[in-house]
A and B are shown apart, each in its own frame.
Chain A
Amino acid sequence: MTILDSPPPAGGTTVRHEPPSLDAGPAPRPLTTTTAEDRLVMAGSWVAGFAMAWLLTQRLLPWQGGLVLGLTTFACSMAVLAVASAMTTSASVVRDRLASTTVHAAAAVVGAALVWTIGFIFARGLEALPHLNLITEDMSGVGPRDPFDRGGILHAIAGSLIQVGIAVAITVPLGIGTAVFMTEVGGRYARIVRTVVEAMTALPSIVAGLFIYTTLIIGLGVDRSGLAAAMALAVMMLPIIARASDVVLRVVPGGLREASLALGASRWRTVWHVVLPTARPGLATALILGIARGIGETSPVLLTSGAASFLVVDPTDGVMNSLPLFIYTTVRSGEPMYIARAFAAATVLLVIVLALFVAARLLARPPKGLR
C-alpha cells in the first residue's frame, strides 16, 4: 500500500519511495513514571520501618539475630508504606506500591542468597587456596594437623576430570544420536524412545548410583573405581543430554530441512550439513550444562568410586576420588584443617562450574552480524 502526498500528475503514477524503517514500531514508551513523592514515601517508609524494627527487636522483645531484624524491618516498612500511601492515594495505588515493594524485596533476597553462597565459599576457601601445592599434590600421607603447604587436591581434580570425561565420551554420541533419531527419523518407535527417555530424566541421581552399585559392583564383582563412577554419571547424564539435545534439534526450522532436501541432498547429508550445524550453539550449551551438572553431582559418585587419598589416573584401577566426594568426606571428618581444605576444593569446583557456564553462555550467543 502506498500513500500519495499530492495528486498524481496526469499520465503517470508516482510512488513515494521510502525505505521501510528497520526498527518496526515506535520504541516502547515508559509505562509508568515515578514522581519525587513516590520515591520519598518509599525511602521514608524503609527508614521508619527499620527504626521500628530495631526498637521492637533490640529493645522491647527478646528476639535476636540479623534475619529476624530483617524480616521485622520488612513487615514494619510495609505497614508504614501502606498507611503513608493511603493518606494521599487510592486503594489500588496502595496495593500497587505494596506489591512492587514485595517483588523487589523478594528478588533482592534471592540475589543476596546467591551472592552470599558464592561469596561464603570463596571467603572460606581463601585460607587454604593461596598455597600452590593445593593443585599439584595429593593427600597421601597428609594428616589432619599438617599445615596447608603439604598435600593438595590434585587427585580429586584429576579424578573428576577423568570420570566426567569418560561419562561424556559415552553420553554425547548416544545422547545426540538419540536426539537425531527422535527428530529426524521419527515414527512411532521414535515416540516410544522419546517417552522413555523423558521419563528417565526423573531418575534421582542417587538411584542411578545405586543401580550401578547393584549391577556392576555387587552383581559383576567390579571393584569400586573411577570407571564405575563414570558409568553412574553416564546413566544419570544420558537422559538429560538426550532430552536437551532433542529440544534444541526440534527448534531447527523445518524450512531449512526442506530446502536442503529439495536441492537434492540425501537425508544424512541434510542432518550432517544443515541440521547439526544450525543447532551447534544450542547443542554446545546443552552439552556444557550437562557436564556442569555431572561434575558437581556427588550422590552417584558417593556410592561407586570410593575415596582415595592418592592420585589415581587409571579409571579401572581401584578407588578414585573426585571433587564433590572429596568435599563431602573431608567436611564429614570434622577436622578444622580438613574442612578448610574442603572449602578450597569447593572453590575450585565452583570456579570450574562458573567457567563452563560462561563458556555455554558465549557459545549460545548468536555470532555477530548474522542476526
Chain B
Amino acid sequence: MSTWVRTAEPSVDADAPRRLVGAESGADRAFVVSMRAIGTTVLLITGGIGLFLALQAWPTLRHYGLSFFTETQWEPEADVIGIGSVLVGTFSVALVALVVAFPLALLTALYISEYAPARLRGLLVSMVDLMAAVPSIIYGLWGFFVLQPHASAIAHWLHVHLGWIPFFTVEADADAAVWEQSRYTASAFVAGLAVAMMVIPMACAVMRQVFSQAPTGEREAALALGATRWGMIRSVVLPFGRGGIIGGTMLGLGRALGETIAVLLIISPAFDLKIRVLEVGTNTVSALIAGRFGEANGAQLAALLTAGFVLFVITLIINTLAAVVVARSRSGAETDA
C-alpha cells in the first residue's frame, strides 16, 4: 500500500483579494459626486489663494529681481522696495522666540511625560492645550504691559556684561549713570519673548506626545540596569524622541514666523538691517503688511502680496520638513511595538 503525495506547489496568489464589485446605488453615486464636488470647491479655494499669491508675486519679483530680497528700504515713492531688513527682523524675532521656547518646551514636555504624578498628567496636558488656545493679542498685551520693563532690564544687563557679542550690542552708552530705558524697549527681543509664549505650547505638545510613546520595555531595562531617572531619560527617551523634538521645534518656528498682532503691538517699526536684537526698532513681514496695507496702491499692494507669498513659502517649507521629521519618528514607534 502506498500513499501518493501531491507535489505541486500551492498557488501563491490564491489569497489575492477579490474585487468587490457591488451594484452602486443611486444614492451612493450622488454621495461620491457631491463629496467630490465639495473637495473640488475646497481645492479651488485653497489652491486658488496659493496660485493668486504666486501670480501676484511674479511681476514684482521680475521687476525688482534679486534686489527684492536684499534691499532694506521700503520706499514705494522712490521705487525702492525690498524685504531684506524685514526678513532679517522676522528671523531675529523667531530665533529669540525659539531660543527661549525650545528649552522651556523640552523641559516642560519631559516634566509632563516623566516627572509629573500620573493624576496630574491629564490636567497638565489640558493646561498646555489651553496655553495654545489663548489668543495672540492677549500675549501681546502681556508682553507690552508686563514683560517690557523686566525685559528691558535684562536687555540692559546683557548689553553691559555681554556687549562684546554682536547680538547684544545696543547703540547706547552702556556705562551711563542713568541708562536710557527707551533704547532697550520695543525690540525684537521683547517681541520674541511674547511670541515664545505661543511657540511653547505647540512645540511642547508634539514633544510630549513623542516622549510618551517611548517604549516601556527599554525604559524599564534602563532602570533595571541601575540608571537614575535622568540616565534613563538621556539614554532612552531623548534618543527615541529626537524626531519629535526637532519636528515640534520647527512647527513652533513656523508659528513664530507668521505671528502678527503681538509683534505689531510691541515693536516700533524700523527698516534697518540689524542683528542687534536688544535695540529698539525692528520689523517683520507680517507687521510690514499690517502697517502698510492701508496706504498701498496697486503696485505696492502687489509688493506686499509678494512679501506675504515669500513668508508663506518659507512657512510651508518649514512645516513640511517638520511633518516629515515627526512622521519618521512615529513610524519608528510602530516597528518597535
- B221 contacts the other chain (CB 8 A): no
- B58 contacts the other chain (CB 8 A): no
Can you name 29 A-B pairs with beta carbons within 8 Å? A31-B223, A65-B153, A67-B150, A105-B107, A106-B108, A107-B108, A107-B111, A114-B134, A124-B145, A177-B35, A184-B35, A189-B36, A190-B39, A196-B43, A199-B50, A200-B46, A203-B49, A204-B286, A204-B308, A205-B258, A206-B260, A207-B53, A207-B308, A207-B309, A210-B308, A214-B305, A268-B31, A298-B137, A302-B260
Shortest CB-to-CB span from A345 to chain B, Å, is 10
Closest chain B residue to A66, Cβ basis: B150
Q: Across chains A and B, which 10 residue pairs bring their CB atoms closest together, nearest first?
A: A296-B135, A204-B258, A106-B107, A268-B31, A177-B38, A96-B228, A181-B39, A107-B111, A207-B308, A99-B230
- A292 contacts the other chain (CB 8 A): yes
Query: Known contacts A96-B229, A206-B308, A211-B52; is A114 also within 8 Å of B42 by CB?
Result: no
Pairwise interchain contact A103-B110, C-beta atoms closer than 8 A: yes
Pairwise interchain contact A174-B42, C-beta atoms closer than 8 A: yes
Pairwise interchain contact B39-A328, C-beta atoms closer than 8 A: no
> In the bound complex, how far is the Cα of B103 from the Cα of A105, in angstroms?
11
Contact of A113 among B197, B264, B315, B316 (CB under 8 A): B197
> In the bound complex, how far is the Cα of B146 from the Cα of A287, in angstroms?
32
Pairwise interchain contact B141-A343, C-beta atoms closer than 8 A: yes
- A118 contacts the other chain (CB 8 A): yes
Shortest CB-to-CB span from A364 to chain B, Å, is 10
| CB proximity to A under 8 Å, residues B140-192 | 141-142, 144-146, 150, 153-154, 157
> In the bound complex, how far is the Cα of B109 from the Cα of A310, in angstroms?
46
> In the bound complex, how far is the Cα of B233 from the Cα of A105, in angstroms?
17
> In the bound complex, how far is the Cα of B118 from the Cα of A46, in angstroms?
26
Closest chain B residue to A303, Cβ basis: B293
- A266 contacts the other chain (CB 8 A): yes
Pairwise interchain contact B56-A206, C-beta atoms closer than 8 A: no
Pairwise interchain contact B31-A353, C-beta atoms closer than 8 A: no
**Which of the four size classes fits the interface of chain B?**
35 or more
> In the bound complex, how far is the Cα of B319 from the Cα of A297, in angstroms?
20
Segment of B5-13, B75-83, B123-131, B269-277 engaged in the interface with chain A: B123-131
> In the bound complex, how far is the Cα of B140 from the Cα of A308, in angstroms?
22
Shortest CB-to-CB span from A292 to chain B, Å, is 5
Interface, chain B (partner A; CB < 8 A) = 25, 27-28, 30-32, 35-36, 38-43, 45-47, 49-50, 52-53, 56, 103-105, 107-108, 110-112, 114-116, 118, 126-127, 129-131, 133-139, 141-142, 144-146, 150, 153-154, 157, 197, 200, 204, 223, 227-231, 233, 254, 257-258, 260-261, 264-265, 286, 289-290, 293, 298, 301, 304-305, 308-309, 311-312, 315-316, 318-320, 323
Interface of A is mostly: helix
Pairwise interchain contact A107-B112, C-beta atoms closer than 8 A: yes
> In the bound complex, how far is the Cα of B44 from the Cα of A196, in angstroms?
10
- Within 8 Å CB of A342, what residues of B? 141
- Within 8 Å CB of B136, what residues of A? 296-298
Pairwise interchain contact B42-A193, C-beta atoms closer than 8 A: yes
Shortest CB-to-CB span from A88 to chain B, Å, is 15
